[in-house]
Structure 1
Amino acid sequence: MQDRCLWYDTSPEAALTLAALSEECAAEVVVIGGGITGLSTALHLAEAGVDVALIEAGEIPSGGSGRNVGLVNAGLWIPPDDILETLGQEDGERANTLLGGAPAEVFSLIERHAIDCHATHTGTLHLAHNIKGEEELARRAEQFVRRGAPVELVEDDECRQRVGTQRIRRALLDRRAGTINPAAYTRGLARAAVKAGARLFTHSPARGVTRQADDWLVSSTVGSIRAPRVVFATNAYTEDHWNQVREHFFPGHFFQVASPPLPDELAGDILPEGQGAWDTRMVLSSMRRDAEGRLILGSLGRGDGRPKPWIRCWADRIQQHYFPQLGKVDWECTWTGRIAFTPEHTLRLFEPAPGILGVAGYNGRGVTTGTVVGKGFAHYLVSGNDDLLPLPIRSYRPVRARPAWSCGYESGFTLYHTGQCLRVVT
């Protein structure tokens, strides 16, 4: 089993050859971070005729935008009524509406810019792993249907046929959703942004942002960019102390494993319509197949640095539980990405200083939320109106005890996975 991200190797979209920032220049807006949020912001600004420059510390992509599961999901992690309880009626309905339509925004960009990312638009499946999970899915289904979403419960034989397992008898099918190769989607956004006129610089880590008269000076290793407006689009990969985004989330991780391509005669009944899926376990397991027929399993927690036998044991346990018809699987590769969590499980949109925008806390919904936030940031910077953002821009208190949150989550994930490997947790 190799340590490498499958999505980079199988991306139909080629990596762009982009220069590093090597001189001082000016722009109307500087975007820091070349993931989905930053690229969506740059693309929509460039299409609006704004002179925008983006700097990325590594390649595009190099963070979570290219390493996630590739689920194009609607909404937030928590169900609609819980969002209202957390955010209040007005803000909650706003988030439900805009993020409920987020998959349509992703698929629209894919079509409009001919992004080759192996996109499927056949929905996603949330799988009930026990009776309590079945009750939770029924609760979610009622809330979605009440809001007119094309969501339905599938049960018994229909459920087993859609998933390809005898272990699940109820699943929530969300027809708004789908899957992509996330690295290819991110590269496609970069290509579209360059074509629209945005200037993109890679291998150009931001070293600081300082005030100069009416502008901000964003300094990199060699060059710098002056602009009156700056967007911090670094989210889970924010590490610098000067970047206030760091104060508004605590980092977590998600690891995945992938099999070699499996022939249809062996695995053709597993998720045959191409849906991505995840279950209702306390620490979820995700599962999907890629365009070449690989089985990809994932879960919360770190895989990097773990002994390969531990990762292989966990993957074998989940595969044998759900898909024993595959027999013994020789896992091909594994990789880990970061997630930005917030205690309230919702994102934060804020203005840490005049002329600077920031976002944090996608809580595992980065493909869709990042796309919508980027479009909303661009609209706000052009018009001064934040109505295309999932939440209003406001002030937040920093997340306290961030290391303790991260340590607690990771310890819980590790304990749960170890229980699965030892067959203590089913």
Structure 2
Amino acid sequence: MPDHDQSLWLKTCREHVESHPLTDDLTVDLAVIGGGYTGCSAALTAARSGASVCLLEAQDIGHGGSGRNVGLVNAGLWLPPADIRARLGDEAGDRLIALLAAAPAEVFDLIEQNGIDCAPVRNGTLNLAHSASGLRDLQKRQGQLSATGAPVELLSTPQAAQRTGSAAFYGALFDPRAGTIQPLGYVRGLARAAAGAGAQIISHCQVETMQFDRGIWTLKTQQGKVRAKSVIQATNAYHQGLTTSSPDYVPIYYFQFATSPLPEELRAGILPGGEGCWDTGLIMTSFRLDAEGRLVIGAMGDLGHAGRSVHTAWIRRKLAVLYPQLAAQPLTEGWHGRIAMTLDHIPKITQIGPSALSVHGYSGRGIAPGTAFGRLMAESLLQNDLSKLPVPVASEYRENWTGLRRAYFEAGATLMHFVKTRF
């Protein structure tokens, strides 16, 4: 049985970043806590602006969700535009919608500019209707997205079958702005580029305390201290230590399995355009091909939970339903990651002190939003202009019953997968 804490992306990543230990106390303009998309984007932005930067990561770069996700570079959030406006107001909502519409282009531009080895495929994504009601939802979403100028296209049942190679769907919403990447390769490439611009990248260095005194933050670790004028905390769902600034969210687990590289005769009929996919099911399913031709398929669920065997049995059945020709293909890799989910599915930026910001809650959409948020947070702090932030900054954010809601979601996913394994 595969190790659920070791992702396929870790085994196939070709990007490397030099990390140096914290041997002496440092003084910098900006300290970044967390080596995921947001933190690495912030470090790269700050370093290229001429600021001195130190990024501190408690594990390896990309250890958290940035190295475990599906690798879909999507435009926008899970929420349709009308829901974003309803939560933020028209002005702030439209600003966020426009920012995230352009975010996939920002990701692919960074990949090209920095020569990041992460198998980028900019052929769009397919949001697939799993039922007639799912198709109606996509029709509404398509209308709202088109009204913002998004070049999305609603596909019929035959068109969806042609694009996926599967007869399991009622239609699809195609977004040509999006694409797929090797997600760990991308975040490590960002860190490498940041280091090349002068940022100090320090991994395996957990921040234990933060204190602000006379205009300077002091971050204490077991290896030494970092003094900084400004701080970005970008730990999201993998926060360690620092109980005084721990973000509130509901931890949702998402697992994935992968086949071995498929023989050419099987691979040719599956996703011939190279799109990444996810469906409209309440317990969502995603699937895509990686650069070596593995079929990577996943859904909500914790492989470290008692429901692991249920999730595994269900994913094998789901694979056979989507692609009967793959029913006998072994699943050679299996892993999971944590998502920081907020109640309204809007990312949260909080001011945790003077010139110090924390961000979390991408709710499963971390690649493009994290890249854009990291850039804007760095610019905002270095220019002392919080109006640049992509969402309104809050003094604090609280979620209620996070443990209970996490158990509820895991129980629901396990029950759904148990039932669908047998019927």
TM-score category (smaller protein): over 0.9
**Is 2:393 the counterpart of 1:393?**
yes
Q: Aligned equivalents of 1:159 and 1:367: distance in 2?
A: 25
Query: 1:305-336, CA deviations, whole angstroms, 9 ceiling, x for partnerless residues?
Result: 45764343111111111111223120001111
- 1:110 partnered with 2:121: no
Amino acid at match of 2:312: R
Give the aligned residue type for 1:414.
Answer: T
Q: Does 1:11 align with 2:49?
A: no
- 1:83-162 residue pairs with structure 2 within 5 A? 83-162=84-163
Residues 217-245 of structure 1: CA deviation (Å, up to 9, x unaligned): 10111211011211101011114352424
Asked if the contact 1:252/1:339 (under 8 Å) is kept, the reply is: yes
- Give the secondary structure class of the aligned counterpart of 2:269: coil
Query: Which residue of structure 2 aligns with residue 42 of structure 1?
Result: 43
AA paired with 2:66?
A: S
Partner in structure 2 of residue 80 of structure 1: 81
**Structure 1 residues 161-200: aligned runs within 5 Å:** 161-200=162-201
Amino acid at match of 1:293: G
The reply on whether 1:231 has 2:232 as its aligned counterpart is yes
Shift of the 388–72 alpha-carbon distance from structure 1 to 2, 3 Å rule, reads farther
Aligned AA for 1:152? Answer: E
Q: 2:357 aligned with 1:362, yes or no?
A: no
Structure 1, unmatched stretches of 5+, are none
Q: Which residue of structure 1 lines up, in the alignment, with residue 416 of structure 2?
A: 416
Cα distance, 1:151 vs. partner? 0.3
CA contact (8 A) 1:245 1:358 kept: no
> Which residue is 2:256 aligned to?
256
Q: Do 1:304 and 1:335's aligned partners in 2 also have CA atoms closer than 8 Å?
A: no
Tell me if structure 2 keeps the 8 A contact 1:255–1:300: yes
What residue is the counterpart of 2:322 in the other structure? 322
Count matched residues: 421
CA contact (8 A) 2:132 2:170 kept: no
The residue aligned with 1:337 is 337
- Which range moves more in the overlay, 386-395 or 362-371? 386-395
The one-letter code of the counterpart of 1:203 is: H
Instruction: Tell me by how many angstroms 1:389 deviates.
Output: 3.2
* Offset of residue 59 of structure 1: 1.1
Q: 1:217 to 1:230 in 2, by over 3 A?
A: same
Secondary structure in 1 aligned to 2:394? coil
Distance 2:421 2:338 in 1: 23
What is the CA-CA distance between 1:18 and the residue it aligns to?
1.3
Q: Do the aligned partners of 2:85 and 2:92 also contact (CA within 8 Å) in 1?
A: yes
Give the whole-Å Cα distance in 1 for the aligned partners of 2:308 and 2:397.
40
Q: Which 5+ residue runs of structure 2 have no aligned equivalent? A: none
TM-score (norm 2): 0.96
Inter-partner Cα distance in structure 1 for 2:229 and 2:404: 36
User: 1:278 is paired with a residue of what secondary structure?
Assistant: strand
Alpha-carbon shift at residue 20 of structure 1 (Å): 2.1
Could you tell me whether the CA contact under 8 Å between 2:307 and 2:414 is conserved in 1? no
Q: CA deviation at 1:415?
A: 1.6
Percent identity reads 41
**Does the 8 Å contact 2:350/2:395 carry over to 1?**
yes
**1:90, 1:132 → 2: CA distance?**
31
Q: Residue deviations 1:398-423, cap 9 Å, x none?
A: 11222122222222222222222222
Over 3 Å counting, the alpha-carbon distance change for 1:243 and 1:420 in structure 2 is farther
Query: Does the 8 A contact of 2:311 with 2:417 survive in 1?
Result: no
CA distance in 2, matches of 1:40, 1:33: 11
Distance 1:241 1:406 in 2: 22
Conserved? CA contact 2:350–2:397, under 8 Å? no
**Distance (Å, rounded) in 1 between the aligned partners of 2:389 and 2:296:** 32
Three-state SS of the structure 2 residue aligned to 1:357 is strand
Counterpart of 1:347, as a letter, is P
CA positional deviation for 1:163: 0.7
Partner SS, residue 27 of structure 1? strand
Q: What SS does structure 1 have at the residue aligned with 2:169? A: coil
Once superposed, what is the RMSD of the aligned Cα atoms? 1.5
Number of the residue aligned with 2:379 = 379
Question: AA paired with 1:113?
Answer: N
Q: Distance in 1 between matches of 2:377 and 2:312?
A: 41
In structure 1, distance between residues paired with 2:176 and 2:396: 34
Secondary structure in 2 aligned to 1:272?
coil
Distance in 2 between the 1:386 and 1:177 partners? 29
Aligned to 1:402: 402
